[in-house]
Amino acid sequence: MTRFAAPIAEQIWDMKYRLKEADGTPIDLSVEDTWRRIARALAEVEAEPAVWEDRFYAALEDFKYLPAGRITAGAGTARSVTLFNCFVMGTIPDTMGGIFDMLKEAALTMQQGGGIGYDFSTIRPKGAPVTGVAADASGPLSFMDVWDAMCRTIMSAGSRRGAMMATMRCDHPDIEAFIGAKSDSARLRMFNLSVLVTDTFMEAVKADGPWDLQFDGTVYHTVQARDLWNRIMRATYDYAEPGVIFIDRINKANNLNYVETIAATNPCGEQPLPPYGACLLGSVNLARLVAEPFTDAARLDEDALDELVTCAVRMMDNVVDASRFPLPQQEAEAQAKRRIGLGVTGLADALLMMGQRYGSEEAAVQAEGWLKRIARAAYLASVDLAKEKGAFPLFDAEKYLASGNMMAMDEDVRSAVREHGIRNALVTSIAPTGTISLYAGNVSSGIEPVFAYAYTRKVLQKDGTRTEEEVVDYAVQMYRAVHGEDAELPDYFVNAQTLAPLEHVRMQAAAQKWVDSSISKTINCPEDISFEDFKEVYMAAYETGCKGCTTYRPNDVTGSVLSVSEEKKAPEVVANSDAEPQTPHGDVIYMSEPFDRPEHLEGNTYKLKWPDSEHAIYLTINDIIVGGRRRPFEVFINSKNMEHFAWTVALTRMISAVFRRGGDVSFVVEELKAVFDPRGGAWVQGKYIPSILAAIGGVIERHMIAIGFLEGEGKGLKSDPTAKVVGLDAPRGKACPSCGQFSMMMVEGCMTCSSCGHSKCG
């Protein structure tokens, strides 16, 4: 017997969360061992660890409470890691020294795997005078390019993929350049971008009034507010960025607005944080709490929900004391306010089990009721902790009760807070739960609708072969268990693509009312939505009380949304006369036949002298002309040093084989540059190169730039006329940088791969 509801759940656990030795030998022999490891680690700070270990284990058992991935993977491992997912960094000073001090702090945080958020509004605009040096400022976007390069460097060093959020106020003089930054596909690839929109600006948009762009009291330009709003909307319509954050609403609703001002969020936007704030996340799995699903007696076990929330709040509070922090400022901030972000996952599945259609008014009312109950239980649990362990250090009863969401909370909760204090300043947040939702049996993610009720996934086996498996939504599994394997799914089984955008907004607004931080949610829009209707989505989000808005409209730039089976079952495998079977939603992609080799090719030969090596290495890179443009076709690597003979021959053959397949082959450079020699690298022309293979990657990259194939160092393609998939007519997602499958989709504000679980946001 296994605790896992689906094979993909066990695979995710093994890949992401299972504790192993350095050589890959499992330490966690079962998922029960993982739950026990987490429970024991979080109980160690208690006066009676054994008692609380068993209670924590019971909450984790059967995937009822799901700590964020960083906690699940890191708690109890004795590794020097942070258990916090993301951080908002310190305020960036408008000085050169201060800016690069902040860059160093960002690098140290990302080195431990933390995603980061920054407000770049504090840097003077491009062209502003710089006192004392007779120069003009280069502006915040130029420094964002530096952050972007740093993030790529940290990522290439073998760490967790970097995730960053950059925000800018809607009245900053460089806001128009910020809005259009992602129109260049090679720029700021490591950032999510969001505009900080104020209430004053929204009123000016409605009135079609003027809007001053200013910095430090100086007005640089005046524009029409509606024109600027339309520029934000057009960029988002075309490129899915920037997002919009209603920053005044966030600050007004903040329980801590008497001691902090927020200007940035973590990379997925669900956690607005002050300087050096950290997000601590976990989710209650509503799909596991529905009794008698798909029957007339179906109901959410509210007593079990209260008990689970109470235990989860205690576990999360203990993480504040059990975790390590990349910077002392982050630890001080966490200890002073002890904010946690308890959310939900499986909400859409729970609604389905109750016979409700996600997006309907009935479902919105139900979701609001559940989230209010969670908020009440979480606040009261935190009050009980304050009785036992003390309130958070910056607690001030009257100021706290007169701020943010506490003003709307029930009077019995307010009275308890007034009398006893509260342990955690903020308690609720709805985070992206893409990977942990797969781990929990492929339950619906966060408060999102189900993306696809079933799809086929190719799984890479240890012997190099791929096997096919059907990945079925958890609610569908439950429905089949009740009504039979062949039963047709009822009409209330809707998915992310078939919902109207305003139905997405309705669910987000309903949930936001009782969430004291924010919500990670993607509003899927059809490709053919009109620009005016698209703008209405954002206005509706503002008018209904949302704290931000993120949309995804599939197009040639953002990539198509993966197709969903109209029959609401796993897509059938379609035979192709020239290739192996393919799935219609782009699960496996077969590229065109390799290019034929012309008789004559143009190329260049490069000499690479590695320090302490007796003989130089010579690289010859030949190019082919396709569509009037040069692209790399083959590589020859030669050296008199026989020590390198075997691997140089292997590299020659493998890289050439990849080049001849066409498409975006720039990943070859990234992979080579990421190779580190355990014996140490070398300094070459004033730059540290981690290995001779990385040096070869650098040579190939310089060649690609020289022939116009790449934009620049560390950047993407200029264009690629050969990046064409044959034998596949259905829509497909963008290519996953981890597994290569064309199955990237926007989930909770973040591009996520449905094949391997890779996420742009880490």
Amino acid present at 536: E
| Predicted pLDDT of residue 459 | 65
Assess whether pLDDT exceeds 60 at residue 631: yes
Amino acid present at 622: N
Strands in 151-190 per DSSP E: 164-169
Q: SS3 of 570, please?
A: coil
Assess whether pLDDT exceeds 90 at residue 35: yes
Q: Which residue out of 105, 241, 260, 270 is catalytically annotated? A: 270
CA distance 2 to 695: 47
Beta bridge partners of 20: 26
Q: pLDDT grade, residue 590 (50/70/90)?
A: very low
Residue length of the chain: 762
Other CB atoms within 10 A of residue 523 CB: 28
User: Apex CA 626: angle with CA 625 and CA 631, to 5°?
Assistant: 65
Q: SS3 of 213, please?
A: strand
CB-neighbour burial class of residue 688 (10 A; exposed 0-12, middle 13-18, buried 19+): exposed
Q: SS3 of 463, please?
A: coil
| Predicted pLDDT of residue 747 | 63
Measured N-to-C along each axis, helices 31-43 and 49-60 cross at an angle, to the nearest 10 degrees, of 140
The sign one gets for the Cα dihedral 107, 109, 112, 117 is negative
Residues 6+ away with beta carbon under 8 Å from 280: 68, 83, 84, 85, 316, 319, 320, 323, 334, 339, 340, 341
Residues 6+ away with beta carbon under 8 Å from 464: none
Give Dmax over CA atoms of the chain in angstroms: 86
Assess whether pLDDT exceeds 80 at residue 722: no
| Predicted pLDDT of residue 757 | 62
| Predicted pLDDT of residue 592 | 44
Rounded to an integer, what is the distance from CA 269 to the centroid of its chain?
A: 9
Q: pLDDT grade, residue 236 (50/70/90)?
A: very high
CA distance 468 to 294: 29
Active site residue 543: no
Q: Which residue has the higher pLDDT, 207 or 722?
A: 207
The sign one gets for the Cα dihedral 521, 7, 738, 681 is positive
| Predicted pLDDT of residue 574 | 29
| Predicted pLDDT of residue 760 | 60
| Predicted pLDDT of residue 96 | 93
CA distance 684 to 187: 27
Q: Which residue out of 192, 254, 255, 266 is catalytically annotated? A: 266
Show contacts of 158-163: CB within 8 Å, 24+ apart.
158/674, 158/676, 159/110, 159/111, 159/113, 160/113, 160/762, 161/758, 161/759, 161/760, 161/762, 162/110, 162/115, 162/190, 162/762, 163/86, 163/115, 163/116, 163/190, 163/192, 163/267, 163/760, 163/761, 163/762
| Predicted pLDDT of residue 627 | 66
- Looking at the chain, the whole-number percentage of residues with pLDDT higher than 70 is 85
Say if CB 65 and CB 59 are below 8 A apart: yes
Q: Alpha carbon of 142 to those of 149, 178, 582: distances in Å? A: 11, 11, 44
Measured N-to-C along each axis, helices 531-543 and 225-239 cross at an angle, to the nearest 10 degrees, of 110
Q: What is the mean pLDDT of residues 586-614?
A: 68
Q: SS3 of 160, please?
A: coil
Say if CB 351 and CB 300 are below 8 A apart: no
Could you tell me which of 337, 286, 250 has the C-alpha nearest to residue 549? 250
Show contacts of 701-709: CB within 8 Å, 24+ apart.
701/669, 701/673, 702/606, 703/604, 703/606, 703/621, 703/632, 704/632, 704/666, 704/669, 706/604, 707/623, 707/630, 707/631, 707/632, 708/629, 708/630, 709/629, 709/630, 709/631, 709/632, 709/666
Q: DSSP state, 83?
A: S
pLDDT tens-digit profile of 540-560?
A: 999 999 999 999 998 766 765
Q: What is the mean pLDDT of residues 120-148?
A: 91
Please provide the DSSP assignment of 532-554 as one string: HHHHHHHHHHHHTT-SEE-EE--
Q: Mean pLDDT of all residues in the chain?
A: 86
CA distance 135 to 698: 34
**Lowest pLDDT segment from 172-181, 343-352, 483-492:** 483-492
Active site residue 318: no
CA distance 655 to 659: 6
CA distance 208 to 225: 6
Q: Which residue has the higher pLDDT, 656 or 418?
A: 418
| Predicted pLDDT of residue 114 | 76
CB-neighbour burial class of residue 692 (10 A; exposed 0-12, middle 13-18, buried 19+): buried
Q: pLDDT grade, residue 583 (50/70/90)?
A: very low
User: Apex CA 760: angle with CA 631 and CA 466, to 5°?
Assistant: 70
| Predicted pLDDT of residue 466 | 66
| Predicted pLDDT of residue 162 | 64
Measured N-to-C along each axis, helices 302-322 and 31-43 cross at an angle, to the nearest 10 degrees, of 60
**Lowest pLDDT segment from 43-52, 63-72, 699-708, 724-733:** 724-733
| Predicted pLDDT of residue 720 | 39
Rg (CA), the chain: 27
Q: Which residue out of 151, 170, 268, 525 is catalytically annotated? A: 268
Q: Which two tokens stand for residue 172?
A: 């900053």
Q: Which two tokens stand for residue 276?
A: 């050096």
Q: Which residue has the higher pLDDT, 601 or 381?
A: 381
| Predicted pLDDT of residue 171 | 98
CA distance 373 to 758: 33
Assess whether pLDDT exceeds 60 at residue 122: yes
| Predicted pLDDT of residue 755 | 58
Q: What is the mean pLDDT of residues 285-313?
A: 97
Q: Which residue has the higher pLDDT, 735 or 94?
A: 94
Q: What is the mean pLDDT of residues 515-525?
A: 93
